[in-house]
Amino acid sequence: MEIKAKLSFLRIAPRKVRLVTDLVKNMPVKEAEAQLKFNPKRASDPVLKLLNSAASNAKNNFNLEKKDLKIKEIRVDEGPPFKRWRPGSRGMAYAINKRTSHINLILESEKEGVVKKEKPSGPEKIKAESLEEVKDKIKVESDKKEVKKGEKREKPKPKKGFKGVANKIFRRKSF
């Protein structure tokens, strides 16, 4: 079973990110996590965050534990560069490419997980309840909203704090 996670437009050059990702290729998730925590490279924090995201995807979607997961593939692709310019001699401009990275991570598990069933929504949910219960709910909601003619609506009490004070200040008429 494959679990995927993706990080796009990371503002670190792909060449620098690959130094970090090559350390953790084909490792179990627990070991890779330990490797990334103590790595001094700047790219190790986003890669660790991506690894944790993929592990939580596995737990949430397939009921798999971290200890059963292994990094199958981690690929770093080049994203679009930010183009900047700096002044050069004799009025020229030199280009600076601030490179970005896209990281694709695929985890695999030895064990087969169980996919969670989604709760019914929309028409299926309404069918589950009886028609009378739905009508009662609609009546109760509509009763709350109605205000009869001749009756005054209750004004909401002003909130404590600065907002209540500010309303009083700005209500004054200026001459």
Give tens-digit pLDDT for 10-19. Answer: 999 999 999 9
Residues 122-139 have a mean pLDDT of: 64
DSSP E strand boundaries for 57-146: 69-78, 82-87, 93-98, 101-109
- Label the pairing between strands 101-109 and 69-78: antiparallel
Rounded to 5 degrees, φ, ψ at 159 are -75, 145
Residues 164-175 have a mean pLDDT of: 57
| pLDDT on residue 170 | 58
For the chain, give every domain's residue range.
Answer: 2-109
Distance CA 111, CA 67 (A): 11
Percent of the chain at pLDDT > 70 equals 66
Q: What is the CATH number of domain 2-109?
A: 3.90.470.10
Residues 44-70 have a mean pLDDT of: 94
Q: By three-state DSSP, how is residue 94 classified?
A: strand
Highest mean pLDDT among 91-100, 118-127, 131-140, 161-170: 91-100
Give tens-digit pLDDT for 76-115. Answer: 999 999 999 999 999 999 999 999 999 999 999 977 766 6
| pLDDT on residue 136 | 73
